[in-house]
Structure 1
């Protein structure tokens, strides 16, 4: 009988442990401690809130933290990655599903160190690898703006990562390799405008998150910042941003850069794909001074090594002839016989960054899915290019894209029918 009574001990312990486990997993977060009075006053200051709104626009926070058709900043959007999807959280001040129980210190820690409210390591889909450069005062202003928003109740979606990427503790190893926290420090050798541009590009704008190549673990592997890379899981290529020799923006003036960021269109090309969303939701709202600062910083990027274009391993003349015929009948009326385009209406194709990027992805997707410039305050009714996915087969698309990438002054690699097959699908939201 005594031995039977002893059997209750492990059973009771197991029940207690299960109860503790359930409580830890389901308990409501505790209310945040009171803010420091000085911080609390700043969070209510209309000028600080207005500055925070501007900075949130500069950081394009709304694009990730808003579901299609949803309330701004309320989350609900699943961000695609090569490892599965990561839900963007609700950052309105709802106390149960948003940031309502956060103090500024919590927000600063997340932005600066990539550690969440409850001490969890955050996935780098939240670009804290860039946001760590944001200053303390700017972070306070952004938090003040977010706290001024109407609270929206919207529970976070479940994590869609596969094993072992869904094990948060593994992020500790990733961070030791790819993350170095630190606020942006101005370069005393450069002008105030250059430093402002560097701060916006490297920090709030987090441009390198797209405009750099990534390795198998999702870390930035490009030897030089802003040297271009394929955007993971989105099937677009973010080009190199150097305006110097062999850079993708070689020949772009500061005004060309400002025009693209302000209107979505410049004399050199049009913003398409993810960049169109960035212009619509973010850069068009920046001041002229900030846009000029960004342009000045980008123009200081170094030259790039000359890329070698391997000759085709087959007789490409039939492909070029077929592509030229398609171009003549489908494209020439808008883009011109020599790819010169129509100023302010149809972008040029000769020397176009989206045409010449190394992979050919952007040109293929524009032909298949259409080219849609962003709607902006200064370009409210932009001309768009219709999709040709239903009119051209894979071989036709490969032919016309290859022709455009080799015609006039263009000297980019050919694309093949198998490449088109890979990208003949709608983009992932």
Structure 2
């Protein structure tokens, strides 16, 4: 059946690939002359580009834990196979040393390499397309200024037919609208700056928006929470859920702009401390941004209209009772019987914890199984004792029961967690 569907897809798609390639726009069609406006000298342009690279969190994706800066090689697990980040140092043979500024803009604006090949949207050009010409020029100048690294790019490991790059032309025609960010005259300067950072450079929707079967973001659920694969242990990747960032009651509705600002600058606020993949976003990106830019991001995020999650079904009373017993035995001492946490012992689990309330419980399950990975940023420890891992203490049904109890107790109101969902997150 899978072969039949694949064959049908190819029969429909391949005949139009050539036509799409002919009509696909190029960055060179968008204007003429130099990219930058010419008001900055080279050193200023490089400095600005370095800041923009921090805003885009480029290093987290293009630098492995044991590799050289921006030399690529980081694996991204997707439903279609594994894609590896590329070398974006100015090495002539293996990096982007032979790229012109127009080639770089073409990759950002249209998802096309210097050799004309289509890029896969794991490189988030669906967001980077909104980056201005001037900012693209600054990013290019910065990347051309860093040390060149001779590291041949790792070949992707994608299943058929997703390993056929020309098919991306069809995907783009269906799901991609290129174009630079346009400000809104009806909004404040802070809102427009925040929208530019969140939607373009920081590409938050890449993780926080659900995707369809072909990997495109769902426009009708923008920022309503998504799923992606990341590590839970060295060389082990499992699903993580990115929470709802709209003003939903199970999203950012309970957070103030001050809560958001504190979290993005310090990895902490009154609700929680960062953990897991979000650590890299904060430690490598948002904490380095100016207070004004972080405030603008908070302004924009708090303006997003609420997209509510699906209706909640009542958990089985037996499951809730079992979960309460496990909670009181293993969790209540630190998180308190009220779920409100303790400033010295543990974060609150009651209303305001986006991970607890998320429709997809993957991240919450990961924390219970493996313990939260605290941010390593030379910060004093937030909690007296780190949370232990329960993967060897509780079985799948027990973890499902306590997660269900937490998600449906006090002021929380989220769906039941099943043993199968827990089993999906285990790696041993």
Structure-2 change in CA distance of 1:138 and 1:417 (3 Å) = same
* Aligned counterparts of 1:359 and 1:117: Cα–Cα separation in 2: 39
Structure-2 change in CA distance of 1:39 and 1:304 (3 Å) = closer
1:109 equivalent in structure 2:
106
Q: 2:253 aligns with which of 245, 250, 255?
A: 250
* Aligned counterparts of 2:344 and 2:258: Cα–Cα separation in 1: 14
* 4+ residue segments displaced more than 4 Å: 36-44
1:359 equivalent in structure 2:
360
Contact 1:228 1:241 in 2 (8 A): yes
TM-score normalized with structure 2 length? 0.86
1:310 equivalent in structure 2:
313
Structure-2 change in CA distance of 1:51 and 1:345 (3 Å) = farther
Contact 1:227 1:241 in 2 (8 A): yes
Contact 2:35 2:102 in 1 (8 A): no
Listed as ranges, the matches of 1:301-340 within 5 Å are: 301-305=304-308, 307-312=310-315, 316-340=316-340
Q: 1:423 aligns with which of 415, 420, 425?
A: 425
Q: 2:272 aligns with which of 265, 269, 272?
A: 269
Q: 2:402 aligns with which of 400, 403, 417?
A: 400
Contact 1:43 1:49 in 2 (8 A): no
Give the Å deviation of 1:382.
4.2
Contact 1:113 1:181 in 2 (8 A): yes
Structure-2 change in CA distance of 1:68 and 1:184 (3 Å) = same
1:27 equivalent in structure 2:
none
CA displacement, residues 167-191 of structure 1 (integer Å, 9 cap, x when unaligned): 0111111000111100001101111
2:303 equivalent in structure 1:
300
Give the Å deviation of 1:344.
6.8
Q: Count how many residue pairs are aligned between Structure 1 and Structure 2.
A: 386
Structure-2 change in CA distance of 1:395 and 1:305 (3 Å) = closer
2:239 equivalent in structure 1:
235
Give the Å deviation of 1:349.
0.2
SS, match of residue 235 in structure 1 = strand
Give the Å deviation of 1:40.
12
TM-score normalized with structure 1 length? 0.85
Which range moves more in the overlay, 161-170 or 222-231? Answer: 222-231
**Aligned residues: CA RMSD:** 2.1
* Aligned counterparts of 2:124 and 2:277: Cα–Cα separation in 1: 16
Stretches of structure 1 lacking an aligned partner (at least 5 in a row): 1-35
Structure-2 change in CA distance of 1:170 and 1:354 (3 Å) = same
Stretches of structure 2 lacking an aligned partner (at least 5 in a row): 1-32, 231-237
CA displacement, residues 43-71 of structure 1 (integer Å, 9 cap, x when unaligned): 97222111111110100101110112111
1:347 lines up with 2:354 in the alignment: no
Structure-2 change in CA distance of 1:120 and 1:95 (3 Å) = same
1:205 lines up with 2:202 in the alignment: yes
Larger radius of gyration: 1
Give the Å deviation of 1:165.
0.3
* Aligned counterparts of 2:412 and 2:221: Cα–Cα separation in 1: 24
Structure-2 change in CA distance of 1:148 and 1:97 (3 Å) = same
Give the Å deviation of 1:373.
2.9
* Aligned counterparts of 1:345 and 1:191: Cα–Cα separation in 2: 40
Contact 2:75 2:85 in 1 (8 A): yes
1:148 equivalent in structure 2:
145
Structure-2 change in CA distance of 1:238 and 1:37 (3 Å) = closer
